[in-house]
Amino acid sequence: MAGISPQITNLVIILVMMQVAKKVPFDDPSVLNAVRALYIGSNIVVFGIYLYIQTQINRKKDMTTLKYVEPAPMGSSEEGKLVTTTVHAYDTAQVRSNFRTAFMGIAMMGFMHLYMKYTNPLLIQSIIPVKGALENNLAKIHLWGQPAVGDLKRPFKAAQSFMNPTGTTQSDKKAVEAAERAGRGGVKEE
């Protein structure tokens, strides 16, 4: 679905899979085990994608210096902090964040399924994480071979949301120089 927002396609997938889940006989143990196997298999695929991306990052080992200004925490009166790192370290941190997100999804799904006995989300969560892993910025660069320009230029732009109303990090020369002059951060992360 090229050209359509990933959030819209996620919503469509969720709505369709909710209707499909109503028709699946989860009280049949063989069907339930098959859906569990599908969920486990999809998570193995997600971790495989992230491991492949990590391998590509380590193989390229791009040591180009990357400077950007992280926004201050929400509600803080502080100004943003200057971060100086490398493309390799930045991408590695992004992959680790993706792994953490995947583990959190598994933990939440495990709680919902094993403790609360919900079965319908197993179907939805068998598709959405795989789609997310294939559509994230690192996959576009390291898996699909797209150049790191525009929206794929590091640091990646965070979408504005309720939790992040200021939007994203600043990497323009003016913001970086202002942060350097103000002495906010600047320690190189390895």
How confident is the model over 53-80, as pLDDT tens digits? 999 999 999 999 999 888 877 777 777 7
Read off φ and ψ for residue 127, nearest 5 degrees.
-110, -50
CA distances from 71 to 98, 149, 168 (A): 20, 22, 7
- In whole numbers, what is the pLDDT of the chain averaged over residues? 86
Q: How far is residue 143's CA from residue 26's CA, in Å, rounded to a whole number?
A: 36
Pull the structure tokens for residue 56. 């590509």
pTM of the complete model: 0.84
Q: How far is residue 150's CA from residue 152's CA, in Å, rounded to a whole number?
A: 5
Helix (H, G, I), strand (E, B) or coil at 69: strand
